[in-house]
Structure 1
Amino acid sequence: MNWKPYLKILICTIFLAAAFQLHAQEDRALSNLHWKQVSLSGNWQQLDSLPVFPGSISLHEQFEGAEIKIPFELQQGAIRFRESEITAQGDSIWVQFRSLPAIWEAPISRIDSQDITVGIETPMLVYDPFGTPDDPLLDFQGLNYRGNFTRGLAFGNNQSLVLNSSFNLQMAGYIGDGIEVSAAISDENIPIQPEGTTQQLNEFDRVYIQLRKDSTSLIAGDYDLLRPEGYFMNHYKRLQGLSIQSTGLEPGTGTLSLRGNVAISRGKFNRMQFAGQEGNQGPYRLNGRDGETFIIVLAGTEKVFIDGQLMERGLDRDYVINYNSGEITFMNRRLITKDLRIIIEFEYSDQNYLRWLYAAGADYQLEKTRFYLNAYSEQDSRSTVGDGALSEAEKEALRLAGDDPFSAVSSGIDSLLENSANPITYQLRDTLVNGTPYAGILIYQPDTTADLQLYTARFSDLGEGNGNYIRPATNANGVVFVWVAPDEAGNPQGRYEPVIRLVAPRQQQLFTAGFDHQFSKKSQFKGEVALSRNDLNRFSEQDRGDNIGMATYLGFERRFQLGQKWKLNSKVEHEAIHQNFSPLNPYRSPEFNRDWNLDQAQSAPEHWARAEFNLRRDSLNGQLNYRYNGFWKGQLYQGQRHIGNWKIQERGWLLDMTGDLLQSTGQAENSEYWRPQAQLERSFKALDDWKLGAVYQAERNTRTDAETDSLLASAFAFSVYRAYLESPEKEKFGSTLSIQYRTDEQGKGTGFQAFSRAIDSRIDGNWKPGKALRLGWQLHYRRLYLTDPPEGQAGRGDTYTGRTELGLNLLKDALRYSADYQLGSGQEQKVQFIYRAVNPGEGIYQHIDFNGDGIEQNDEFVIAPNQDQATHIRVIVYTNEFIRTNNVQLFQSLVINPRKPWFNETGIKGFLGRFSSQTNWQNNQKVRQLPGVSGWNPFQLALADTALVSSLSNLQQIVYFNQLDPVYGLQYNFTDNQNKTLLTTGFQGRRLVEHLFQLRLNLGKSNALQLRYAQGIKVNQQAGEVMQDYEIAFRRIAPEWSFLPSNDFRTILSYRYEQGADQLSGSDASALFHEGKLEVRYNQASTTFISGSFAFTRVNFTGVQDSAVGFALLEGLQNGNNFQWEVSIDRQLARNLRLSLSYEGRKTG
């Protein structure tokens, strides 16, 4: 028996188990040709767990049949079809594709990054042509792998011993007996999610190992579980665990595919639906299913719909999303208004319970028939994670709560424990307000040294008017809540309470079985039955009678050829749902409830029958469609819906007309919902295919009370008229111009009355006549009129979004200019910073008690100048306060390089060719929507604090002389960076202005001189905190000599003279620095790196050291003599093994 392959599998598994946290990269696999049958739907369907070559994909109606053309999207081996393009096709098609080799996605470089040594100013490459590679730590023949194993020690005279370690390994290849392995293994805990600003996401937080042999694959680690083929089961889960898939082909019979999953689910699903706010592009906050206010969205799991249309993620698309804060912002190309319906589906991190998931499935494919089974079970453990286990009282509250998710609460008040890390503390007191006694009121008490009984408290946001506490702006290092007395009627006037809303552990299961049979190429029959179990509270025995439900689906499709020119496609479907059936995630259209005027508050058995007929004649370039839908919900609701469409395209004309009528009756209301649409378009070939068109769209939803026959508040009507002029999309020019008029009505009494009217105009385009000029533009302007505006609100409002891009390339690339101007509107959220203590050296900030009261306050935390002093990290706490803003952004870049056209010139041209410059200016402003404040002008630099919400201005200019000359060169830098940020305590502003002159001179091969001179100002301003304000003027001169006797050795000797003084009136703070520093570096063929430095600094300081200006002037040093030294050794023991050792010392004052 050959045991070596199995030993290698065992070693790979051990490395996986050693990883502290699972993270991953994309799967890799062998190149191969595959056929797979997929359903025609708008959902993502996995073709293969390996990369799929996009150019190899072809679509076919039958296995090895004729190719058809349907638009599709491909992402990470999964395919999705556009719903608007698949109505006339069958329910499933065959996809032919090739999967790529496992090594295809591996990063490739010509040089090992370990052979690059970073110098003082520029990277230095060291290469030893006579060296021989060291023996690797891991040596698997047949495997391509990369990675490293590092262990390091750091210590000093002001810090304890710190052990640093890391292990990273990526590999792909064969380990014998036809077993292929691909893996990404790490022991680093990197809680990094990709930024949701691009259409494709680069994920950094995945680790996995995959083994494949023949048609069997095993994945352990991070992976995605996509929706299986079928009707009712819909999910997209991000998991950490084990997945196995196997496919077996029996000659003459069929193909059996099996799959199984055992994993921990990383999140849970939620669907949010809300109306847009007029002129507010966001950010909009996403909330959890159980009322969680602040959540972390799992990257890539979101689906965003506007008016039922699926949006695309990206800065140049429809929206961007911040996964870590759970906020979504819509881009300028789509103006958000009150008329838009926004639906967002997503998975978010569950921080209450450990959630286990088990999923299995089987598919048996015959020549014309397919059978399948799917089983899914997801359940929370009864033990909580995070802050601690549930108490017996909390478990009892959950037992009594049943299926009511908001009835189980517990007290958030707890006694102060010893050694608590700077908690926010309270006293419990009784008080009397207007003769009414109130007991057990929490009063903020920051002094923890007093002899008082103190408490800590956790608060929940219950909504405005549902709590007795508010969240005022304070300077405390934490969130403080203050009690406010109820009004005279006894109604609460706050929104917070010291209670903890208990979340019950759940269990959700779904089992499906189905088949589909292909009678011929033109007919197909399919069916599915599903059984669900949904336990909303595993602690409670109450309300368990509604946990189990069933559902069935039947569908038949037939295509007819009527003569030689006419074709008829027909489809009949029926869906029956038990009142207790609970799908995993919604499987129907996002706007299903709106289409049928449904109220989901009451449950009842459901029946949905639909029939569709599509008649078309290819020679007429047109088609005729009719769809009938009937929906019955027990005795509560009965509705019938008729949809007709006629589309014809001939001789440059396009006519598309649709009518949609819903008639429903119910116990509470009756409705008639009429939705006509029409489009007429003319294409002019004589004008290079320019298009002129008009669109009409209307909705009239007459919803009446079943008893009084009067219109309900939910009744509405609107009409939209739009005209457009559109050019064909070409490389050099493209443009679209449109204008739209909309009227809205609302139900009142027995009729409709006007509510609002709006005029929208929009222009988009691009122009690129040649290489020298590129221009793009986009502007959307809207004016809204309210017929009867609320008191205090204007009857007219203007909103707009826009973007202009300009690019110039002149004088043979000697002058390059680019500009990007954007404007829009949105909202800015007030935030608060909280500083949390960590182990010394692991943070970024340190605390300086400026006022000497022994209490940590927000404005007493500064960036630590030395790593061993970094004892705190900063955490952002979001509030529920938003400010409506107008936003404007401007970015400009100018590069002047006469050297390109005048490279070989002499005289004045040759002299000017030695100069070059680069200027970048970025200016972002968010201002309040106030009279006299422009929302489109980026040059408003002197706005009052009452008008400004936030601003960021960065200006950097660099002028070079002899930039590429190896002997000498001059450089001038000008920097002006300023920003203002809105905190809960007011504005915080900073500014840095600096002029820097630099001279470099190379004296032969071994000696180099540099001279730097800088002067400028540093400004800090904080609202309400005068002691934190300063304006430091500084001057600095720093010569430096470098000696390089060989490529392995470098010595640097430098001196720094610097003066700094506070310019604010009444301040006498100043500092004078004399610093000498010696640095030595030794690098031997990338295997050994040794560096050391010693610095002596003499500081003459005047003023108060324990103050904000004193800390800024001293830069972490003390008045008097200061010594600093550092030694580090880095040794590569093997190709994949590196050892590092560092020592830091400091003696100040």
Structure 2
Amino acid sequence: MAKKLFFCICLFLGLVSNAQTISKNFRSKTYTLVKDTIQFDSVNINSQKFTVLDYQKNKIPATAYQVNFIKAQLIINAKKYPIITIEYFRFPDFITKTYQEFDEKIIVPDTKNTQKLYSLTTNKKKAQSTIFGDLDAKGNITRGLTIGNNQNAVVNSSLDLTLKGNLSKDITLKANIFDTNIPLQENGYSQNITDFDRIFIEFEHKKWRVKAGDLDLKNSESYFMPFTKKVAGIEAAANLSERTNMLASGAIVRGKFGEYRFIGKEGNQGPYKIIGPNNQAFLIIVAGSESLFLNGRLLKRGETKDYTIDYNTSEIRFNTTLPITNDMRFHLDYQYSDRNYTRFITYEKASYNSDNFSVNGYFYNENDAKNQPIQQQLSDEHKQILANAGNDTSKMYANSAYEDSYSENKILYKRILSGNAEVFEHSTNKNDQLYTVAFTFVGANKGAYALDKTIALGNIYKYVGINSGSYNPVIKLVAPTKSQTYAINTTYQPSEKTRFFSEIAVSNNDANLFSSLDDNQNKGLAAKINWKQLYGKTTWKFSTDIGYEFLHQYFATEQGFDAPEFERDWNIVNPTGNRHQINTLLTLSKEKKAYYTYGFNLMSYTGFYNGIKHNFNSKNTFNKTSFSTKISLLNNTSTIEKNSFLRAKGKIEHSLAKSWIGGFLNLESNERVLKATQQLNTLSHRFKEYETYIGIGDSTKTYSKLGFNYRTNDSIRNNKFTNINTRKTFYLHSKLLQNTNSNLSVFTNYRITNNTFTNNEKALNSKIIYRQKLFQNFINFNSVYETSSGNIARQEYVYIKTEPGQGFYTWIDYNNNGIKEFNEFEIAIYKDQATYLRVALPNLTYINTQRAKWAQVFTVNPSQWANKNGLKKIVSHFYNQTHFIINNEQQRTNNTFNLNPFYIHKTKQLGLNYNLKNSLYFNKNLQKYSAIFTYATSKNNQLYFIGSQENNTKLHQLELIHKLSTFWIFDFTTNTSTNKVVTENFANQNYQIDAFKIAPKFTFEYSKNHQFSFFYNYKNKENKMVNFEILKQQKIGSSYFYQTKKNTLLRAEINLFLNDFTGNQNTPVAYQMLEGLQAGKNYTWSAIIQKKINSFINLNFNYLGRKSKNTSTIHTGSIQLRANF
């Protein structure tokens, strides 16, 4: 047992020390293909970020394969792509796992022989890998090394391992270890993102538990210090006795808590940009850490729920089925990646529980190590600035310029005189005294610099005069902080009807550990007492709930404890002073049929605010009719206001035989009067909302609900309530069909907003889903249609240099000026050329859009007629599948709708993703007279800050496969294609390449394990725009495949390219036409050796080489060891 424990701990610690930041649901698998259909996983997979790479690690276009994401099946031409790598993301386990009480494998046929007893386990046991002994191990470990004469050595590693089992009779082990180092991914502000719950190892005994790795610390028991924190560290829990428990943890914090509030925009589904606590636009949100509230109601994340979120770009998009209006209030709690300092957290808990009494103590400590900065380098001058700033963040700025050496991969400045002021000016002269300068946004007309232009490496700024710009050459210093909270609570329950609760907490928060200024604001006290009493033994029960709370003005916890709309509920704005609150709740209830509650609440902030609130809620059910009411009245005064806030909501619903009808009334009136002038504050508001609806069917199965909503909003104009707008909403929610063969649901929400002082607005959200199986699966089709309004970002990005083979782009200096310009970056054909990443910058400029989307999958599968005669027999040889999607976003002006996804408006088009692929098979998956005809077309339009870019492709392809004899197979592929690119501002990037290809191939198949192929390709490419380049390419090659009975595989290939090119080779179109090669003779060769060492270890060798005219030979090799468990 000791050896097992030692081995597991050593393995875990070694892996955690090199853990990479990538989602645990990511998978990367390499296959050597012998057939076209691959089952690459056992569960549903995420259709986003699905990538297929060839043996050279080049991305295979989506038109070359088909994917069934539900069944995790890939269909691809095994002859054309003999070795592929699939990179994708699984859905989380809780979505894909099967929930059942017993394993279906243990079910036995009905039998009269009852003498034999069966245990509820399966007899078949999985063979265990001896390296982990009796532990149940699943997953794999991979380590690889790639080297070449055109790149540095790159280490590739991955680990996906799950361990579970008993180390001894009393100790169990659970471990989930995931560690992947893959090429850095595009999109977003960072090259990686921390995804927690990735790695952990846990030992458990009936009296104790120890868990190390990625932890999810939680406290939902304390009133004043509830929190959820995702950290990396260790947690230990122990049962000291039957009634006494303790827990202690220590960890490094990767996420810091933040909150963000925003108001919805009428008819705008997003995306909405999340701004950080310090107004930072660069923000990476810790995955899964967010809680999003709408008018105080918690929303659910997911494609079929309420919203989706991009953690890397910190943007939220609301789904079509949650229409957004301008009176929706959103509150987002989240954790964001903050690595300014090494940040530690400790959390301890001790509890004692008896039959009627419990006591719990908590200690939370989170603080920065001020002498261990990470993302900022603090000089003595910087530390002194922070020491003099106290808690005032407006004083935490420092000069950003420092001397630096010349580099073509940097934006540099020189100092010049402008009048009597010394300012910075952009320079590319290596003989100047150069500086690296960071510019910070300080507010419109509050700075001396403005954005001059954006190049591929980033933004360039210029001096425009004091208070004439928005930027200054300064950096924002971040002070190290400390947050501590101590809390203890007790519960005493002498009987089932009586309960007493109390809690006291102390906080100690230092907003600047470098400064002793304002330290008198660090400490605060909070206390709460509560008494609940239940009366009565009949069907009617009466209860009371009385409580008191006290908060010192400086008491604060890391994540807070008040409800998301607490300040709005009490009409509070920037309160000061100590808080006192008395809460009283009286409840009269009758089982589940009725209840009545009355609440009386008092709250004050010493010397600032006093408020009295009355709440009345009720619910009654009489036969088939239900009533409910919620009424709240607040009267409050502050040093500047005297207010009255009334809220009321009533609902009635009546059930009929197969339908229901209902309606509700919702109103608010908040009158806020300024004491000094006796005039209404502009924050005053009033609205009335009426709704009626009728429904048919069962809302849990098939149903249809039709409704109408009418709302008026009033605000303050000329010191009186004035109607601002009136909104009418018509909606339909329905699930019309739901059975094995059919599924039809329709959602429609149409709103008309009549504004008094601005233009009227209209909004439409609609989504239709239709799935149908006909004639015993002879025909299958899935249709999804959506339309909604939103916005699209004018996306900015820069290129960052990385290690060869770790990027996606290559730079070609087309004009030989040494400056990296946006039109000089190309997607790298070969990995050793991939030296740049494209990284998105924060989106701050958005354009309103109207989106129309239609997705369609249509399949005709007559294989069930294979045993028929006549025409049905002939038809059974065919199989047709059509994939189609169009996502059309156009600029929205006035109240126009883009309902037709096929309508293309040249001047309003902002975003378009159009893809159509139809594949007609004859004798699918057979080698005798097998044929595939494919038609594919796509059109994509993207909006960037440098202008729009439009890509159009079209393909007609015929592929024939026929087994000529026992040993010979003939493949023939021919296609015609068009690839057209039009950019708004870069003429040298525009081209239209028309291509023709024929590719015969003969394969000598001595056996399935021994093959030799000869092939010839001829391509003719012509550019129909600008310089009219022409390429005539001939490719002659052969390949060899051999697999031994002892699990050794060898694959080798050699190719000769004869490129007859007419035109300038140093252009983007030439790079595309030549596919990274040169005019004249080019050679490429490759070899792959795979060896299965034993039942769970595989060794792979991969070698690639190429040679072009007037260039050196390039060699790239890799070795990989993989262990499967």
2:460 is paired with a residue whose SS is coil
The answer to whether the 8 Å contact 1:639/1:663 transfers is yes
TM-score, scaled relative to structure 2? 0.86
Corresponding residue for residue 603 of structure 1: 576
Name which of structure 1's ranges 207-216 and 926-935 shifts more when overlaid on structure 2: 926-935
Within-5 A mapping of 1:513-532: 513-532=488-507
For residues 843 and 482 of structure 2, the distance between their equivalents in structure 1, rounded to whole angstroms, comes to: 32
Corresponding residue for residue 404 of structure 2: 416
Structure 1 residue identity aligned to 2:872: K
The answer to whether the 8 Å contact 2:408/2:818 transfers is no
Cα shift readout 1:595-638 (whole Å, capped 9, x = no counterpart): 100112x421001110101112349x322110111101102101
Within-5 A mapping of 1:101-120: none
- 1:1028 Cα offset (Å): 1.2
Structure 1 residue identity aligned to 2:598: Y
Q: 2:672 aligns with which of 680, 686, 703?
A: 703
Within-5 A mapping of 1:482-497: 482-485=462-465, 491-492=467-468, 494-497=469-472
Within-5 A mapping of 1:944-963: 944=906, 946-963=907-924
Q: 1:572 aligns with which of 519, 529, 546?
A: 546
Structure 1 residue identity aligned to 2:412: T
For residues 478 and 831 of structure 2, the distance between their equivalents in structure 1, rounded to whole angstroms, comes to: 41
Corresponding residue for residue 73 of structure 1: none
Q: Is 2:365 aligned against 1:393?
A: no
For residues 865 and 702 of structure 1, the distance between their equivalents in structure 2, rounded to whole angstroms, comes to: 66
Corresponding residue for residue 206 of structure 1: 198
Relative distance call for 1:428 and 1:727 in structure 2 (3 A) is: farther
Figure out how many residues of one structure are paired with residues of the other and give that number.
Answer: 1016
Corresponding residue for residue 873 of structure 2: 910
- 1:162 Cα offset (Å): 4.4
For residues 999 and 79 of structure 2, the distance between their equivalents in structure 1, rounded to whole angstroms, comes to: 19
What CA RMSD, in Å, does the superposition of the two structures yield over aligned residues? 2.9
Name which of structure 1's ranges 453-462 and 993-1002 shifts more when overlaid on structure 2: 453-462
Relative distance call for 1:10 and 1:346 in structure 2 (3 A) is: closer
Q: Is 2:1060 aligned against 1:1100?
A: yes
Q: Is 2:830 aligned against 1:856?
A: no
**Gaps (5+ residues) in structure 1?**
27-112, 125-132, 432-436
Corresponding residue for residue 734 of structure 2: 765
- 1:696 Cα offset (Å): 0.8
Corresponding residue for residue 358 of structure 2: 370
For residues 195 and 181 of structure 2, the distance between their equivalents in structure 1, rounded to whole angstroms, comes to: 14
Corresponding residue for residue 1059 of structure 1: 1020
Within-5 A mapping of 1:1040-1079: 1040-1064=1001-1025, 1066-1079=1026-1039
For residues 24 and 807 of structure 1, the distance between their equivalents in structure 2, rounded to whole angstroms, comes to: 32
2:1086 is paired with a residue whose SS is strand
Corresponding residue for residue 1008 of structure 1: 969
The answer to whether the 8 Å contact 1:515/1:528 transfers is yes
Cα shift readout 1:272-320 (whole Å, capped 9, x = no counterpart): 1121111111111112222221111111111111111111111111111
The answer to whether the 8 Å contact 2:234/2:251 transfers is yes
- 1:818 Cα offset (Å): 2.2
For residues 205 and 618 of structure 1, the distance between their equivalents in structure 2, rounded to whole angstroms, comes to: 42
Q: Is 2:450 aligned against 1:458?
A: no
Within-5 A mapping of 1:270-669: 270-383=258-371, 385-418=373-406, 420=407, 422-431=409-418, 437=419, 439-445=421-427, 447-449=428-430, 451-471=431-451, 474-485=454-465, 491-492=467-468, 494-561=469-536, 564-600=538-574, 602-618=575-591, 621-669=593-641
- 1:746 Cα offset (Å): 1.4
Q: 1:1125 aligns with which of 1079, 1085, 1089?
A: 1085
For residues 694 and 639 of structure 2, the distance between their equivalents in structure 1, rounded to whole angstroms, comes to: 48
Structure 2 residue identity aligned to 1:569: S
Q: Is 2:175 aligned against 1:183?
A: yes
The answer to whether the 8 Å contact 1:978/1:991 transfers is yes
- 1:534 Cα offset (Å): 0.4
Corresponding residue for residue 51 of structure 1: none
Q: Is 2:635 aligned against 1:691?
A: no
- 1:992 Cα offset (Å): 1.3
Q: Is 2:208 aligned against 1:223?
A: no
For residues 258 and 415 of structure 1, the distance between their equivalents in structure 2, rounded to whole angstroms, comes to: 54
Within-5 A mapping of 1:745-764: 745-748=714-717, 750-764=719-733
Relative distance call for 1:403 and 1:1075 in structure 2 (3 A) is: same
Corresponding residue for residue 232 of structure 1: 224
Within-5 A mapping of 1:780-819: 780-789=749-758, 794=759, 796-819=760-783
2:804 is paired with a residue whose SS is coil
The answer to whether the 8 Å contact 1:22/1:240 transfers is no
The answer to whether the 8 Å contact 2:762/2:895 transfers is no
For residues 464 and 765 of structure 1, the distance between their equivalents in structure 2, rounded to whole angstroms, comes to: 49
- 1:828 Cα offset (Å): 0.8
The answer to whether the 8 Å contact 1:711/1:748 transfers is no
- 1:142 Cα offset (Å): 1.8
For residues 5 and 1145 of structure 1, the distance between their equivalents in structure 2, rounded to whole angstroms, comes to: 45
Relative distance call for 1:731 and 1:970 in structure 2 (3 A) is: farther
Cα shift readout 1:985-1023 (whole Å, capped 9, x = no counterpart): 101111211111100112345432211001111111111
The answer to whether the 8 Å contact 1:24/1:222 transfers is no
Structure 2 residue identity aligned to 1:285: K
Relative distance call for 1:122 and 1:814 in structure 2 (3 A) is: farther
Corresponding residue for residue 35 of structure 1: none
Structure 2 residue identity aligned to 1:553: K
2:807 is paired with a residue whose SS is coil
For residues 692 and 3 of structure 1, the distance between their equivalents in structure 2, rounded to whole angstroms, comes to: 68
Percent identity, aligned pairs only? 28
Structure 2 residue identity aligned to 1:588: D
2:480 is paired with a residue whose SS is coil
- 1:145 Cα offset (Å): 1.4
Relative distance call for 1:207 and 1:1050 in structure 2 (3 A) is: farther
- 1:425 Cα offset (Å): 2.4
Corresponding residue for residue 901 of structure 2: 938
Corresponding residue for residue 32 of structure 2: none
Structure 2 residue identity aligned to 1:740: N
Corresponding residue for residue 986 of structure 2: 1025
Q: Is 2:843 aligned against 1:868?
A: no
The answer to whether the 8 Å contact 1:840/1:870 transfers is yes
- 1:123 Cα offset (Å): 9.0
The answer to whether the 8 Å contact 2:456/2:797 transfers is no
Relative distance call for 1:953 and 1:468 in structure 2 (3 A) is: farther
Structure 1 residue identity aligned to 2:440: S
Q: Is 2:714 aligned against 1:726?
A: no
Relative distance call for 1:1084 and 1:627 in structure 2 (3 A) is: farther
1:399 is paired with a residue whose SS is helix
Corresponding residue for residue 741 of structure 1: 710
Relative distance call for 1:731 and 1:636 in structure 2 (3 A) is: closer
- 1:550 Cα offset (Å): 0.6
- 1:500 Cα offset (Å): 0.8
2:1072 is paired with a residue whose SS is helix
Q: Is 2:890 aligned against 1:927?
A: yes
For residues 1060 and 4 of structure 1, the distance between their equivalents in structure 2, rounded to whole angstroms, comes to: 65
TM-score, scaled relative to structure 1? 0.84
1:395 is paired with a residue whose SS is helix
For residues 934 and 231 of structure 1, the distance between their equivalents in structure 2, rounded to whole angstroms, comes to: 49
Corresponding residue for residue 682 of structure 1: 654
